[in-house]
Amino acid sequence: MSLVVSKTSSGREYKVRDLSQADFGRLEIELAEVEMPGLMSCRSEFGPSQPFKGARITGSLHMTIQTAVLIETLTALGAEVRWCSCNIFSTQDHAAAAIARDSASVFAWKGETLEEYWWCTEKALDWGPGGGPDLIVDDGGDATLLIHEGVKAEEEFEKSGKLPDPSSTDNAEFRIVLGLIKEGLLVDPKRYRKMKERLVGVSEETTTGVKRLYQMQVNGTLLFPAINVNDSVTKSKFDNLYGCRHSLPDGLMRATDVMIAGKVAVVCGYGDVGKGCAAALKQAGARVVVTEIDPICALQALMEGIPVLTLEDVVSEADIFVTTTGNKDIIMVHHMRKMKNNAIVCNIGHFDNEIDMHGLETYPGVKRITIKPQTDRWVFPETNSGIIVLAEGRLMNLGCATGHPSFVMSCSFTNQVIAQLELWKERASGKYEKKVYVLPKHLDEKVAALHLGKLGAKLTKLTPAQAAYISIPVDGPYKPPNYRY
Amino acid sequence: MSLVVSKTSSGREYKVRDLSQADFGRLEIELAEVEMPGLMSCRSEFGPSQPFKGARITGSLHMTIQTAVLIETLTALGAEVRWCSCNIFSTQDHAAAAIARDSASVFAWKGETLEEYWWCTEKALDWGPGGGPDLIVDDGGDATLLIHEGVKAEEEFEKSGKLPDPSSTDNAEFRIVLGLIKEGLLVDPKRYRKMKERLVGVSEETTTGVKRLYQMQVNGTLLFPAINVNDSVTKSKFDNLYGCRHSLPDGLMRATDVMIAGKVAVVCGYGDVGKGCAAALKQAGARVVVTEIDPICALQALMEGIPVLTLEDVVSEADIFVTTTGNKDIIMVHHMRKMKNNAIVCNIGHFDNEIDMHGLETYPGVKRITIKPQTDRWVFPETNSGIIVLAEGRLMNLGCATGHPSFVMSCSFTNQVIAQLELWKERASGKYEKKVYVLPKHLDEKVAALHLGKLGAKLTKLTPAQAAYISIPVDGPYKPPNYRY
Amino acid sequence: MSLVVSKTSSGREYKVRDLSQADFGRLEIELAEVEMPGLMSCRSEFGPSQPFKGARITGSLHMTIQTAVLIETLTALGAEVRWCSCNIFSTQDHAAAAIARDSASVFAWKGETLEEYWWCTEKALDWGPGGGPDLIVDDGGDATLLIHEGVKAEEEFEKSGKLPDPSSTDNAEFRIVLGLIKEGLLVDPKRYRKMKERLVGVSEETTTGVKRLYQMQVNGTLLFPAINVNDSVTKSKFDNLYGCRHSLPDGLMRATDVMIAGKVAVVCGYGDVGKGCAAALKQAGARVVVTEIDPICALQALMEGIPVLTLEDVVSEADIFVTTTGNKDIIMVHHMRKMKNNAIVCNIGHFDNEIDMHGLETYPGVKRITIKPQTDRWVFPETNSGIIVLAEGRLMNLGCATGHPSFVMSCSFTNQVIAQLELWKERASGKYEKKVYVLPKHLDEKVAALHLGKLGAKLTKLTPAQAAYISIPVDGPYKPPNYRY
Amino acid sequence: MSLVVSKTSSGREYKVRDLSQADFGRLEIELAEVEMPGLMSCRSEFGPSQPFKGARITGSLHMTIQTAVLIETLTALGAEVRWCSCNIFSTQDHAAAAIARDSASVFAWKGETLEEYWWCTEKALDWGPGGGPDLIVDDGGDATLLIHEGVKAEEEFEKSGKLPDPSSTDNAEFRIVLGLIKEGLLVDPKRYRKMKERLVGVSEETTTGVKRLYQMQVNGTLLFPAINVNDSVTKSKFDNLYGCRHSLPDGLMRATDVMIAGKVAVVCGYGDVGKGCAAALKQAGARVVVTEIDPICALQALMEGIPVLTLEDVVSEADIFVTTTGNKDIIMVHHMRKMKNNAIVCNIGHFDNEIDMHGLETYPGVKRITIKPQTDRWVFPETNSGIIVLAEGRLMNLGCATGHPSFVMSCSFTNQVIAQLELWKERASGKYEKKVYVLPKHLDEKVAALHLGKLGAKLTKLTPAQAAYISIPVDGPYKPPNYRY
C-alpha cells in the first residue's frame, strides 16, 4: 500500500476523503451532541479532572457523526486519540473530516478496499516508536485481532524464523492481515509485543467481538483485560434492538425506496438485532417470517405473531431478506437463485459472511449492475431475474444509511467511556486480569439515568421501607445480575 | 427569466439539472416498474390499441422515479407528453434526466426558485403555436390555476385594457404568477383562451387541488371537466395514508438522522395524511399528540390511544412537529419561539403555507444555518436556541427524501391513467361537463385488483346466491358509493 | 306459545329471566352512565323539554346494560317504551330486570328459543288496541320485517283469503314468523296495517338491517321513513370497528380461555367489523389471515401486513375462524370437517347464517358436547376430532361476552336518540318520505364532540381566515359528505 | 376453624365448593390438554417409567384448569398429590371439583377467608402421621413459609417454652399464621420439623416467592433445596409477559366491561409483568403511562413510546391503575382520594399489599358498594365520588378472570415438572444443597422446543461448521447463561 498520510497544521496525522467537508461534519456533530446526553454529561462530570491525561486511545469503530461525539468526549477528558473505522462502508466522510481537522488522528473513508481498511487499522494502532496505544475501543475486534495475530507471528518468527504465509489461507481478508503482519515483522520484529506490553486493556462494542474475546479467554490466549460493553443492558438491549429498529428501514429506504408495506420479509435470527429488525418491518406493514435455531427465541417470535420457518420454506416467496445472526453462511447463492425477481438481500450483522457474496460473485454468468454505490442488482443468466444486494453484504444500515441514531448510540458510547475510564483508573491496581469483564449493574443503571431527562421522564423513588421489603438499596442497583429486562 | 431550453437530438425540448444522470435514472425506473403492477398492466392492456394517439398531455406533478413510470405509461399508450414538477424541491434529477433523454419534454430540477418553478409550469403548457395540451395531469392544481388566471386576465384585458398587476398582491408566489401572465399577455392576448378551447379536461391528484376545483365548480368558474383522482379510494386511502406512513419517517431520517423513539411528536391534522404520519411515528416509538378541528377525526385519534390537544398545550415539550392539514397558518413563528432547542418542524401537506416561513424569515435577528440542502437550523436571538426546519416548509417527504414508494404510487397513477383515458375517450361525447367527477367504483376496484397479484393475495369469489343475498353483482362493484373503507 | 306476561306493581308488562337481578342491573347501569357521555348529555339538553311526550317507542335491540341507558334516555325525554332483544343470546338478564322494574316494558332473556324470540318481538310491538308504536328503534330489522311481512300477508288475505303458509319455506326461522303472522291474522286481520298507519318511522342500527331497508326502498316496498344510523360515521367507524376490536377477544376469552398469541386466526371479511377483529387478533399476537371478495378491502389488509387468502387455503392450518361478512354460507360444514382439532369457529356478523350451523347439526354422526352455555364442541365421527362453535353461530361477542363497551355504544346510541328525535319532530312536516336517510354531517360531528371531554381532548378552533381558506364554516361541518375518515 | 373435610368413595380427602361441577371441570381440562403440549409431552416421555412412584407432592398454586393439567401430569408420572390454592380468589371451582373427584386431594375454593386459606394450606401439607410431603410446588412461597415459621416456632418452644404470640404482629394475615402454628404446636411439637426432615425440596413458581427464597439463602435460614422456576426464560419471559398481556384485559373486561380504548392507564412497574400489561393496554387503544424506580426499565418504556412519570403526576387524570411491582405501598389511600370518579384500581402482582386496602377500608366514612363479587365501588364521603377496586387488591387476572391461558402456563408448568423430577431424582445424591438453583439452559430450551410444534414452527438446524464458528454445540444450549432474550 502506498497511501499517503496527511498532516494538519498542528502536525496531526490523518487520511480522510475530503477535509473540506469538516464544516458540514461539525454542524452535524453539534446537532448530535444535543441528542447524546450521556456523553455530554461525561464531559461535564469528568472533564474538569482530565482523567485521561496522558492516555493514548486507539479506536476501531464506525467513523460516524455519533462516533465523533464519542471521540471528542475522550479528548475532552484528556486523551490523545487515533481512530479508524471497523467497516469499509461505514465511515461518514464529513464526520471523519471534522474530527481529523479538529480533534484526533483519523484514518477512514467510505468505500475502502480491504487492503486500505487494514492499512487504516494499522495506522490507528501506530503511535510511533514509543509503542502502541494505552487503551483500545474496539468494535468487532479487528484491532484486538491484529495485535493478537501480530504477537503470535512475532513469537513464531522468533522461535522458528518462520514468517506468516498469506497464501496459507483461503480467506481473502485474513490473507491481507497476514501480509500486513509479515511486512511489519521485517521492519520491527517486536512491534506487536511492544504494543501488548503497553496496552492496559480493550473495551469491546459488539456481540461478534465479544464472542471472539470469550473464545480467547477460554483458550487462555487473551493478552490483556477486556471489558465487554456489548452486554451492558444499556447497550445490547438498546443499541442492538432499538438502533436496528430505526436503521434497518432507513437503510432499506435509502438504498431501494421500496415500499415495505405488503411485502414478505424474512429476518434470519431473532436475537436483539433480529427483534429490532422484525419489529420495524412488521410495523411498516410487512408480513415478517423469522428463521431461528434457538427454540426460545423462536417461541418469542411466535408470541409476537411472527411465524418461524426455515429459509427454504419461504425463499421463493419473500421480497426482503435480512441476516442478523452473527453466524456465517446464512443465505447462500443456491438460495439467491430461487428468489423472486428484485428480491432484496441484506445483512445487518457485524461481519459480511452471513451472505454468500463469494458464491454470488463467482456464479457462472452472473451479471452485476450497480444501481448506485452500495446497491447492486445481480442477474442470474438462467432466469434473467435479478436480486438486489445491499452494501455488498456488509452492515446495510451503515453502508446504505448512517447507522444508528445519536440518542441510542449515546447509551452505548457512555458505556464505552465508563469502561475506558475504569480500565485506565485501575491500570496499576491489578483489579483487571487478562479476562473479559462486564460493567457493574450500578454503572449500567447510571447510563440509563443520564438519558431520561432528555425524554422528560420522572423516576419514582423507593422509600426505605419499600427498599427493605425487596432487599435492595434505595438507590439501586435495582435488579439481580441475571435479570433479563 | 432567461433560462435556456435544451433539445435532444430528436428535437425534444427539456431543461433538467444534468442529463448525464439519465442512465442512473433509467436503472431506478426499471426497478420501479417491477413495483408498479397497475401501470405495467395498463401498458399491456391498452398499449396495443394506442388510445392516446394524437393526444398531448401536460403534467404538473412531482418529477420522481414513480412519475417517470407514469409518463412512460402515457407515452406507451400513444401520448405526447410535456412535464414539470409541482414543487420546487420534489424533482429527482436522475428521473428527470432519463425522461428528458428518452420519453418526454421535462422542465424540472430539484431546488428551483419560485420564478423558475412557474417558468417550468408555463413551458410544460406551451405546446407551441397550435395551442396547449389536450389533457392535464395536475397535482395541487397549479397548471389549472395558471390557465384559469390567464383566461381571467385576458378577458379583463380585452374588456378594460387592464393588465394584471403583480404589485396588487402580498403573496410573493402569486405575484410571480401575475407577472408571468402579464408578460404572456403582451405577446399573445389569446394564449390561455386558446389553451382552454383545446383542453379536454384535467385529472387532479391531490386533496388541495381537488378543493380548488370544487370551489371553482361552486363558483361556476371551472373552465373544463375535471376528474378528481384524489377521492378514488385507491388513491386517498392508500397514497395519502400508507404513502405518508412510509415517507414521513424516511424524510425525517434522511434530513436529521434523529432517533424517533422516545420523542414527543405533534401531528397537526388527523385526516388520511395525518393518520399515516401518526401511525409511523407511534410505531417508531414516539409519543404522538394530534391537533384537530374536527371532532370525528379527533375521536378516531383517541380510539388509537393518541391524545388530542392544541398546539399551545404541547409546543414547548414536543420534539417533532408535522403539519398535515391542507390549511394555512398552522405553526406560526410565535409557536416556533417557544419550542425546545433543535425541535424539528416540517410539513407534509401540499402547500408551504402551513408553517409560517415568512414570519420565521423576517423574525428580527433570526439566524439561518444550513446544515445541508433542505435542512436548516434557525436560531432565535433571545434564547440562542434553534429549531430545525425541513425543506423550507414544503413537502418534506419529497424535499428531504424521495416521496412515496413505487407500489402505492402505482395505485394513484393507475387512477390517473384511467382518468385520462376516460376524458380522452369521451372528449366528443359530452359525457363530461365543466364539473368535477370521481371515477366509478368498478374502476376503483379494478385498480386495487391490479395490485393484489404482486403481493400474493387471493380473492374469494362470491357465489351467485351470495351476491343475490346482498344484492350486488358477482363481480362487483362490491360496495355502495358512500362506503368509507 | 303459552308464555305468561308479568306486570309490575304499576301495571307495566314484562317478561324477563329474574326480576330479582334488578338491583345488580341498576348498579351496572349507573357505572355505564358515567361511560356514556353522549346519552347523558341528551338527557340534560333535551330532558327539560320532554320532546318525546306522547311518543310510543318500540325497540328491538340487544337488551344489554348499554341499551338500558339508551332506553332510560328515551324515557327521560318523555317516551313510553317497549323493548325486546334482537338476538336470542344477547340479553343481559340483570339489565332486562332493572329496566322492567324501573322504566319500560321488556320482553327479553338470555337464551330464548326462536319461538320465544318472535313472541318477544311481537309483544314489544303490541301496544294494545290503539295500534302499534309511533317509532321503532331497530337493529337488524326484525321488527321492521315483522310489520312488512304482516302487512303483506294481511293484504294477500284480504285479496285472496289465503293465509300465510309456514310450510312453504325451508327457513326454520321464517316458518316461525309466518306462523306468528297467521295466528295474528285470525285474531285481527288489520293489526299490522294499523301499526303501519301509526308508525312515524324507524331508525336502524346495523349494516344488515340497513341493507334490507335499501332493498325495500329500491323495490318500492318500504312502508315508512327510515333513518340509517349505521352509516353515521360515529356509528359505523366506531361501534363496528372499535367495538369489535374490544369485544371479539372478550368473547373468545370468556368462552374458551384460549391463548390468542401464537395462533393462526382467519377473519372472513375486512369491512369495519373485520378490521376491528383483525386488529384485535393481531395485537394479541395471532397470525391473522383475511378472506375478502373486495379487492380494495383486500389491499387494505395487505398494507397492514395481513395476508389475503381463501378459506380453502388455510382451513386446515388455522386455529380460530371469525366471520364478519354480513353475507351467508361463509364457513360450511365441509370446511369445518377439515379443521384442526379444537379449532374455534365463531361469527360476529349480525345473522347466524354465516356459519353453516344447519349443515353441522345434521352431519351424520356428529356429536355435540356442551362445555358451557354458548360454547359447544362438535365432534366428527370419522376423525374423532372436534371443533368449538361459539354462541351457536350467532353474534359471539353478545352471546359469549357482554357486547361492545359503553363508551362506544354511547356514540351509536346518541345517533339513535338524535334520529328518533328528528323523526318525531318532523312527524307531520312531510320532510321524510318512505325512504332511507342518513343524519346530516353536523349532527354526526356533534355526536363525536359530546364524547371528547370524557377523554380529556381539546379541539383546535379554526380562525375565520382558515375557515375561508378551505371554504367551510368555522363550526363545521368540516368535511364533504363523501369523506371517508 | 371447624371446616369439614370430605372424602371420595376411594377415601381421598378434599374440600371444594361443589363436587357436582366436576364434569364441567373435566370438559375444560380436556380442552386445556390440547393447549398444553409441554405437559402432555411429559406424560408420554416420562409416564411409562413412573418416576414419581412413591413421591408425595404438595402444591400451593392457583387451583385453575391449567393447574389441574399440571396435577394430573404429576399423578400420571406416579406421584400422590395434595393441593391448595395460593390466593383466596384464584380457584376455579369446577377445576377443583374435577381434580378432587378424579385425581388428588384438593382444599380450595373461590372466595376463601384468610383463615380458610391457611387452613387449606395446612391441609395440603398434612399427609398424616408419617410426616409431610416429599416435594413442594410453591407459588409465592406460602407453603414454604408455613414450614419455616413452624420450625422456628417449634425450636423456640423447645428452647424456651414460648408459644408463638399472634398478638405480637400488626399484620392480620401473619396473625393467622402464628395462630395456626400455635394450635399445631400444642398437638404435635415436632410436626414441622418432621416435615422438614422428609422434604426433598421445593420448586417455586413466581418472582415474589423467589425473592423470599434468596433472602433465606442469604440469611442462611433456608431449610431445604429450592429450584427457582420463575427465572427459567420459558417462565418469566413468557408467563409473566405474555400471560399478563392476555389476562390483564381479560380481567378488566370481565370485571367492568369498560372500554379500554381512549382511556389513560397507569402501569406501576415495567418489569416482565408490567411490560405485558402496558403492551396489552396500549394495543387496546389506551394512553399508557408507566411509573418506575429503575432507570433501565424506564428507558425501555420510553423507547416503546410510553411516558414515565410518577403516580402523583397522573393520579387525578388516569382512568385505570394497575400495580405490577412486587413491592408494597404503591397506591395509597391518599392517591385513591384524588382519582377521577370510577377510576379502576387493580393489582396483578403476587401479593395484595401493592394497593393500600387497609387504608381504604378504614378511611372514615368510606362506603363500599359491591357491584358483583370481586368488583367493588368505594365511595369517599367528601366528594361522593367513587373508585372501582378489583379483587380486593389481589391478583385481578385470577380474581376477576381465569388467569393466564393454558398455552403459556404449559411452558411454566413444564418447567415445574422438570424441576420436580430433578429434585426427586437427585434426592439422595447430594447434588442440591440448601440453596436456590435455576434449571440448566438446555432444559429451558427443551421446554420451548416442546411448544413449537403446536404453533406450526420449524427450526433451522446449525451445520457443524456454523456451530464451530460460534463455539456452541449443534444441539445447543445456544446461548450463554447471562443472555437476556
- Report whether B269 contacts B278 (CB < 8 A): no
Give me the CATH number covering residue D46.
3.40.50.1480
Q: D216 and D305 share a domain?
A: no
Do the annotations mark residue D235 as ligand-binding?
Answer: yes
Residue of C nearest to B471 (CA): C215
Could you tell me which residues come within 8 angstroms of residue B416 by beta carbon, excluding any fewer than 6 positions away? B70, B137, B203, B205, B229
Cβ contacts (< 8 Å) between A482 and chain D: which residues? 231, 481-482
Beta bridge partners of C13: C7
Mean pLDDT of A205-233: 96
Q: B187 and B331 share a domain?
A: no
Residue A166 pLDDT level (bands cut at 50, 70, 90): very high
Range with the lowest mean pLDDT among A365-374, B124-133, D233-242? B124-133
Q: D170 and D263 share a domain?
A: no
C-alpha cell, D161: 417454652
Q: What is the pLDDT of residue A2?
A: 72
In a domain, D212, yes or no: yes
Give me the CATH number covering residue A343.
3.40.50.720
The packing angle between helices C172-187 and C114-125, to 10°, is 40
Angle at C201 (CA atoms; ends C197, C205), nearest 5 degrees? 145
In a domain, D142, yes or no: yes
pLDDT > 90? residue B131: no
At B287, give phi and psi (nearest 5°): -95, 115
- Residues A30 and C116: their CA atoms lie apart, in Å, by 76
C-alpha cell, C90: 344477547
Residue of B nearest to C297 (CA): B485
- Residues D33 and D66: their CA atoms lie apart, in Å, by 8
Q: Where are the beta strands (DSSP E) in C335-392?
A: 343-347, 367-372, 375-379, 386-390
Helix or strand run (H / E) with residue A227: strand A226-228
State how far the alpha carbon of B425 is from the alpha carbons of A474, B51, B79, B130, B432, in Å.
Answer: 79, 8, 13, 21, 11
Q: A171 and A87 share a domain?
A: yes
Helix or strand run (H / E) with residue B105: strand B105-107
pLDDT > 90? residue D107: yes
Q: What is the value of pTM for the model shown?
A: 0.97
Q: What is the pLDDT of residue C151?
A: 97
C-alpha cell, A15: 487520511
Q: What is the pLDDT of residue A131?
A: 85
Helix, coil or strand: residue D372: strand
- Residues C431 and C419: their CA atoms lie apart, in Å, by 13
- Residues C192 and C185: their CA atoms lie apart, in Å, by 9
What Rg, from alpha-carbon coordinates, does chain A have? 23
In a domain, C192, yes or no: yes
Q: Where are the beta strands (DSSP E) in B124-277?
A: 135-138, 201-204, 226-228, 264-268
Mean pLDDT of A307-320: 98
Helix or strand run (H / E) with residue D120: helix D114-125
- Report whether A326 contacts A274 (CB < 8 A): no
C-alpha cell, A419: 469502561
**Interval D318-331: pLDDT, tens:** 999 999 999 999 99
C254 closest CB neighbour out of D254, D371, D388: D254
- Residues C309 and C307: their CA atoms lie apart, in Å, by 6
Cβ contacts (< 8 Å) between A262 and chain C: which residues? 302-303, 305
Among residues A42, A244, A277, A411, which one is catalytic? A244
The dihedral through the CA atoms of B236, B242, B247, B249 has a sign that is positive
Could you tell me which residues come within 8 angstroms of residue A1 by beta carbon, excluding any fewer than 6 positions away? A115, A116, A119
Cis-peptide into C477, omega within 30 deg:
yes
- Report whether A296 contacts D448 (CB < 8 A): yes
| CB atoms near residue A415 (< 10 Å) | 31
Residue D1 pLDDT level (bands cut at 50, 70, 90): low
Do the annotations mark residue D262 as ligand-binding?
Answer: no
Beta bridge partners of C383: none
- DSSP class per residue in B131-162: -S-SEEEESSSHHHHHHHHHHHHHHHHHHH-P
Last residue of a domain, which of B332, B366, B393?
Answer: B393
pLDDT > 90? residue B55: yes
- Residues C225 and C260: their CA atoms lie apart, in Å, by 44
**DSSP structural state of residue D167:** G
Q: Is C350 a catalytic residue?
A: yes
Chain D nearest C-alpha distance from B277 (Å) = 15
Distance of CA D185 to the CA centre of its chain: 28
Q: A12 and A59 share a domain?
A: yes
pLDDT > 70? residue B1: no
**Interval B254-299: pLDDT, tens:** 999 999 999 999 999 999 999 999 999 999 999 999 999 999 999 9
pLDDT > 90? residue B395: yes
Look-up of cell digits 438485532: A273
Q: C215 and C340 share a domain?
A: no
Cis-peptide into B307, omega within 30 deg:
no
- Residues B289 and B259: their CA atoms lie apart, in Å, by 17
Q: C163 and C198 share a domain?
A: yes
- The CA-based dihedral angle spanning residues A460, A463, A465, A469, taken in that order and rounded to the nearest 10 degrees: 30
Q: What is the pLDDT of residue A1?
A: 62
Percentage of residues of chain A with pLDDT beyond 90: 98
Cβ contact (<8 Å) for B455 and A258? no
In a domain, B471, yes or no: no
Q: Which amino acid is at A28?
A: E
Among residues D41, D103, D105, D240, which one is catalytic? D240
Q: D410 and D389 share a domain?
A: no
Cis-peptide into B477, omega within 30 deg:
yes
C-alpha cell, A330: 446464512
Q: Which amino acid is at A361?
A: E
- The CA-based dihedral angle spanning residues C228, C232, C237, C240, taken in that order and rounded to the nearest 10 degrees: -30
C-alpha cell, A267: 429476518
Q: A31 and A59 share a domain?
A: yes
**Interval A277-299: pLDDT, tens:** 999 999 999 999 999 999 999 99
pLDDT > 90? residue A152: yes
Q: B229 and B301 share a domain?
A: no
Q: C74 and C106 share a domain?
A: yes
Q: D41 and D95 share a domain?
A: yes
Q: What is the mean pLDDT of chain B?
A: 97
What is the pLDDT tens value at each position of chain C, 485 positions in all?
679 999 999 999 999 999 999 999 999 999 999 999 999 999 999 999 999 999 999 999 999 999 999 999 999 999 999 999 999 999 999 999 999 999 999 999 999 999 999 999 999 999 998 789 999 999 999 999 999 999 999 999 999 999 999 999 989 999 999 999 999 999 999 999 999 999 999 999 999 999 999 999 999 999 999 999 999 999 999 999 999 999 999 999 999 999 999 999 999 999 999 999 999 999 999 999 999 999 999 999 999 999 999 999 999 999 999 999 999 999 999 999 999 999 999 999 999 999 999 999 999 999 999 999 999 999 999 998 999 999 999 999 999 999 999 999 999 999 999 999 999 999 999 999 999 999 999 999 999 999 999 999 999 999 999 999 999 999 999 999 999 99
Cβ contacts (< 8 Å) between A305 and chain C: which residues? 261-262, 282, 285-288
**In chain C, what's the furthest Cα-to-Cα distance?**
74
In a domain, B240, yes or no: no
Which residues of chain C have a Cβ shorter than 8 Å from any chain D Cβ? 24, 27-28, 31-32, 34-35, 65, 242, 245-246, 249-250, 253-254, 256-264, 283-285, 317, 341-342, 369, 371-372, 377, 388, 401-402, 404-408, 454-456
Count how many domains chain A has: 2
In a domain, D480, yes or no: no
Q: Residue B296, class by beta-carbon neighbours within 10 Å (0-12 exposed, 13-18 middle, 19+ buried)?
A: buried
- Residues A325 and D295: their CA atoms lie apart, in Å, by 29
Q: What is the pLDDT of residue C1?
A: 62
Cβ contacts (< 8 Å) between A300 and chain D: which residues? 237, 485
pLDDT > 90? residue D130: no
Cβ contact (<8 Å) for C463 and B308? no
Cis-peptide into A480, omega within 30 deg:
no
> What are the b/e assignments for C20-55, b being 16+ CB within 10 Å?
ebbebbbbbbbbbbbbbbbbbbbbeebeeeebbeeb
Interface test with B, best of A252, A259, A281 (most B CBs within 10 A): A259
- Residues B323 and B205: their CA atoms lie apart, in Å, by 19
Q: Is A415 a catalytic residue?
A: no
In a domain, C151, yes or no: yes
- Residues D483 and A271: their CA atoms lie apart, in Å, by 10
In a domain, D410, yes or no: yes
Chain A nearest C-alpha distance from B146 (Å) = 33
Look up the domain containing A268 and give its range.
Answer: 259-349+352-393
Chain C nearest C-alpha distance from A286 (Å) = 5
